[in-house]
Chain A
Amino acid sequence: QQQVKQSPQSLIVQKGGISIINCAYENTAFDYFPWYQQFPGKGPALLIAIRPDVSEKKEGRFTISFNKSAKQFSLHIMDSQPGDSATYFCAASMKGVTTDSWGKLQFGAGTQVVVTP
């Protein structure tokens, strides 16, 4: 079953607008939440990541908001640009008491973002 649920499936935003993508998880053992950006023909590239001890992290135009009690986190892309048109994936992983769970990224289904000029 999908351990990380991502919405919306697709998003169209005008240049200069804000893109918001949401993710929810069930497993409270997750302790690392990265966002990846993927362009056609390329592998996912790490965009920004957060740990549950902070509620927000900002890097340039990209901000992650994290709500531990609601088990939700979101990506905000401010001042969206046509070059931001890509598929975005949220993910989660945990460092458990055994090595079985280390390093295994659980991905959301992805959100295709289109920024119109």
Chain B
Amino acid sequence: KAGVTQTPRYLIKTRGQQVTLSCSPISGHRSVSWYQQTPGQGLQFLFEYFSETQRNKGNFPGRFSGRQFSNSRSEMNVSTLELGDSALYLCASSLMVGSDGYTFGSGTRLTVV
């Protein structure tokens, strides 16, 4: 079956702009989590959605937001981009919130210039 699909794979944005990243979970998975991966900070949890509701949030500023649709697809948005937002953004899906076995997508590589 199809894995977690993230689009786009690569993105270059200018400081101050905003960006929207998309994630389609594995069919049947209802929980979607987002992580930021950077060489300096490693993998950091952004937020998790289940049934269109944010269930859990990491320690990121309010510029980072997300949402989940009724078909479990999720988007994350970063407004007023900063150079430090350059990272690989990973989406992971699982059957339920807190269930074992999160499956990650290949990520969206965001570069802010």
Chain A residues proximal to chain B, CB less than 8 Å:
2, 32, 34, 36, 41-46, 49, 89, 93, 95, 99-110
Contacts and interface: CB of A to CB of B under 8 A. Distances in A.
Contacts, number: 69
Please classify the interface of chain A as helix (H, G, I), strand (E, B), loop, or mixed, using the class held by over half of its residues.
loop
Interface stretch (B14-22, B71-79, B93-101): B93-101
Interface in B54-113: 55-56, 58, 90, 92, 94, 97-107
Please classify the interface of chain B as helix (H, G, I), strand (E, B), loop, or mixed, using the class held by over half of its residues.
strand
Given A44-B90, A49-B100, A101 B56 contact: yes
A35 to B, nearest CB: 12
Contacts of B103: 45-46
Given A102-B56, A102-B97, A108-B42, 12 more contacts: A34-B101, A36-B104, A43-B107, A44-B104, A49-B101, A89-B42, A100-B56, A102-B48, A102-B55, A103-B55, A103-B97, A107-B44
